[in-house]
Amino acid sequence: MTNLLTRYKQAVRKQNVYYSKGIAGELGMGGESLSSRHAWTKGSAIRKVGVLFVAICFLLYVLWGTLTVTIADSTEDILSDETVHTRLNESYLVCNEIFVDHRVFVQDHRLHDYETLTMIYFVTPTYPRREQIPELIRLSNTLLHVPRIHWILANDHYACNAYLDGLLRKIGLPFTHLASPMPESYRKKKPMPRGVANRRAAMQWLRQRNITNGILYFGDDDNTYDLRLFSEIRDTQRVSMLPVGLIEEYVSGPVVRKGKVVGFLDSWVADRRWPVDMAGFATNLAYMALYPNASMPYKPGYEEDLFLRSIRLNLNIIEPKANNCTEILVWHTQTKSHERTTLRISNKYLDDRSNLGALIRSLNEMGVAHYSDNEGQTAVISKNGKAKPISFFLS
């Protein structure tokens, strides 16, 4: 065993000596060849590093351009929504979906298809105020869905309003525009009998034209109307009634038993025989014509009661509508009123250099806001989140 190990070690020593001599020969005798190979390898490495450097520079250029655009966009929107940059745990529930159109009140017929329907004379008392035009536009978009309707708009103003007249023409409904100012003696009373002069003027207009075929309904300009209301009242024989929502504490309407009106639900009785809201009844004009002296007095809170008394109404002839007065088809909604403001803006900027002139004159015609050179609230114009004088834009 010892001899074998000794011979193995001697063989390893010989191999090491052989390889050492070979390497020394390469270094000594073949030095030129090794140097040339080393030079080639070094040049290749430099080229690779150069290509890699160019690629990195190009990548940085692209990334820097994208980053610059992102920063610019973010700085322009100072008041950006933080939720855009935050992952939100949002969820929603689909309660129901219907993709079939089941609407009943869609105007898909020609006008002559409705010629046999009874005409509804929809009387709306209104008065000049900041919210008047928006209220009437909203109401008109309801009435546009109703066939065979004539809108009597009675404005509490001493003269005809050209803007209001143009608006009614643009809407396209059959209409009568009345200027029916309240007598000055009643304007000082508290509470003021608002709307009475307008309704009286509408009834006088109907009498003067001897219109006795149709349905009379008093609809305020700020109420909310279900389209079913018009189908319900159209077949009124004498006087029909229905509940009105949001009256005083809750609702105002008839109490019905076995299809007959037996009483009234209303939070303010005040000795009224007929404690109903103006929007809670409709009258057939043929029935009203039987009482040529029918009228509405200037007595706040009692206008409905005394009008219905003037046409000799009694419980037995009242026709309950809205599914035996179990549904509300009209709501006494009210828009919050604001004082009309004056916008301070120099008249020299209201020319055709911008839209401001036409826009502000339109607001003035609608009664939303006046404008003045030296009075009122200064008009504010801004750009990039900073208020600037009008001269900055129109100099």
**In the prediction, which pLDDT does 27 show?**
44
Contact 349, 356 (CB under 8 A): yes
**What letter would DSSP give residue 182?**
P
Give the strand pairing for 224-225 and 330-331: antiparallel
Q: How far apart are CA 253 and CA 230, in angstroms?
A: 17
Q: Which residues define the annotated binding site?
A: 222
- Count helices and strands in the chain by DSSP H and E runs: 12, 17
- Residue 382's DSSP bridge partners are 387
Contacts of 241 (CB under 8 A, 6+ apart): 253, 254, 261, 276, 280, 281, 318, 319, 320, 321, 325
Residue for token digits 């809170």?
301
Contact 129, 367 (CB under 8 A): yes
All structural domains of the chain, each given as residue ranges with its CATH number in brackets, are 112-331 (3.90.550.10), 341-394 (no CATH)
Q: How far apart are CA 110 and CA 114, in angstroms?
A: 8
Q: How far apart are CA 256 and CA 264, in angstroms?
A: 9
Q: At 218, give phi and psi (nearest 5°).
A: -95, 115
What would the two tokens of residue 306 be?
């005394």
- Residue 254's DSSP bridge partners are 264
* pTM (predicted TM-score): 0.75
**In the prediction, which pLDDT does 230 show?**
98
What string of pLDDT tens digits covers the 395 residues of the chain? 555 445 555 554 555 544 445 444 444 444 444 455 555 455 667 777 777 887 787 777 766 665 554 544 544 454 555 544 566 767 787 777 778 877 776 666 787 888 899 999 999 999 999 999 999 999 999 999 999 999 999 999 999 999 999 999 999 999 999 999 999 999 988 899 999 999 999 999 999 999 999 999 999 999 999 999 999 999 999 999 999 999 988 899 999 999 999 999 998 999 999 999 999 999 999 999 999 999 999 999 999 999 999 999 999 999 999 999 999 999 999 988 888 889 889 888 888 899 988 998 888 888 888 899 888 988 888 989 999 888 888 87
What would the two tokens of residue 24 be?
């020394």
Q: Catalytic residue at 184?
A: no
**In the prediction, which pLDDT does 4 show?**
47
In whole angstroms, how far apart are CA 39 and each of 35, 42, 242, 357?
6, 5, 105, 82
Q: How far apart are CA 351 and CA 346, in angstroms?
A: 10
Contact 214, 205 (CB under 8 A): no
Burial class (CB in 10 A: 0-12, 13-18, 19+), 324: middle
Contacts of 354 (CB under 8 A, 6+ apart): 393, 394
- Options 131, 304, 319, 327, the catalytic residue: 304
**In the prediction, which pLDDT does 339 show?**
84
Q: How far apart are CA 125 and CA 155, in angstroms?
A: 6
**In the prediction, which pLDDT does 39 show?**
52
Strand, coil or helix: what is 310? Answer: helix
